Structure 1
């Protein structure tokens, strides 16, 4: 089965849903200290789930909002229905839908799709194929010195993660051309794959935030390293770059 059309359909339909509700009164399911959970997150997740399982009910889906559901087949989908929910809630138009699929047994990623409905931009990649933005091939930047680089540093949701992030940000910010804090891990990775950003670092991130973006970056010639987060079990530290930038000594 060709999975890419399913992913593109699901991401586009979910994108239409969240775009049509942008700027409206939103139902908040949970207001956390550094995060917000919206009813619309759940609706977007359900829409994506319905589209995927309609095509093959044996597929499994690991999503931010519903956990692990579906069948026990060979394909597992990894879904973030709104990556950048805090931006969305505050009417900042920088958020996306992120969908990846992987082999359930080997954990090898098969495809990744990231859709930004506000900019009408869709990134896609399939195993063995080139990364694309709106159907055109993309590649990482050639910037190879910190002084040239634009780097985004994510700040996570716990005090210990924030403290580590502040120290890292100080080390990096003095060296690079500019830093940016944009609020969507998936779009940060898509921007690296497109050559817009040169690196992204965050202390505490979840699989659904980065699964599609990691595949995009690596296919575009970049480099991604992850390791278990030291501040929250089940999450990861991530450093992604264009593969040319000497960012490791600043981590």
Structure 2
């Protein structure tokens, strides 16, 4: 199988696992004030890792729930088995599986799968960007007054402070504001023209790797600033490339 086929199959199989357990009780491995880790996070990631390793046993695997494969490989798969874990746990059907593959720093494949709606976003560098097999592109909106913007607030005190102030400022200019609980779906929605921007001051690589490729290939803009203390944490500004988002940040 190709890289893209492998990512799609793994995402859909993990998504089926999550959908099958959506209305069941979920076992919590770890509970924090603003976050949860579920047994299903680990099971879904293990399933994805197994499917990827079966096709590409010498590749590196990097996920929210740990590492696998050959960490010396130039090819790395970046996996978030449940982006939107808290939504999933509380029975809110807004979460997804996110899988990206990169060579060095160059993302070659991005897949985001929403198992509750059946929506599948796929992108392959130098190939196509599709939603359920159909081409997609960002919105053509240019005015903040017409825009719908997703502001993320992170989990630590500083990120919450920044996010809430941004939300306040943007709400005075934008048509509508959203806090949706899944960064990957926020980027997929921006790529699809449903949202016009997603902004957050502190987000993990596995949340945004697939979405970055999907958004950029759909004509959008994704600016990442690495965290000084952790190179896999970023500040992100993802937009349709047209609205003047800096005016409210």
Same fold (TM over 0.5): yes
1:89 aligns to what?
89
**Measured at CA, do residues 148 and 118 of structure 1 come closer, stay the same or move farther in structure 2, by a change above 3 Å?**
same
2:205 aligns to what?
207
State the SS of the aligned residue for 1:139.
Answer: coil
1:186 aligns to what?
184
5+ residue gaps in structure 2? none
CA distance in 1, matches of 2:248, 2:230: 22
What's the offset of the Cα at 1:74?
3.4
1:197 aligns to what?
195
The CA RMSD measured in Å over matched residues stands at 1.3
What's the offset of the Cα at 1:222?
0.4
Is 1:107 matched with 2:87? no
State the SS of the aligned residue for 2:105.
Answer: coil
**Measured at CA, do residues 100 and 234 of structure 1 come closer, stay the same or move farther in structure 2, by a change above 3 Å?**
closer
1:70 aligns to what?
69
* Count of residue pairs brought into register by the alignment: 248
Is 1:60 matched with 2:87? no
1:248 aligns to what?
246
What's the offset of the Cα at 1:36?
0.4
1:237 to 235, 238, 245: 235
Determine if contact 1:30/1:38 at 8 Å carries over to the other structure: yes
What's the offset of the Cα at 1:73?
3.3
- Where in structure 2 are the equivalents of 1:1-251 lying within 5 Å? 2-66=2-66, 68-71=67-70, 72-103=72-103, 106-229=104-227, 234-251=232-249
Deviation readout 1:29-68 (Å, 9 max, x if unpaired):
00001000000000000000000001121011110001x3
Runs ≥4 residues deviating over 2 A: 228-234
What's the offset of the Cα at 1:248?
1.4
State the SS of the aligned residue for 2:238.
Answer: strand
Determine if contact 1:15/1:97 at 8 Å carries over to the other structure: yes
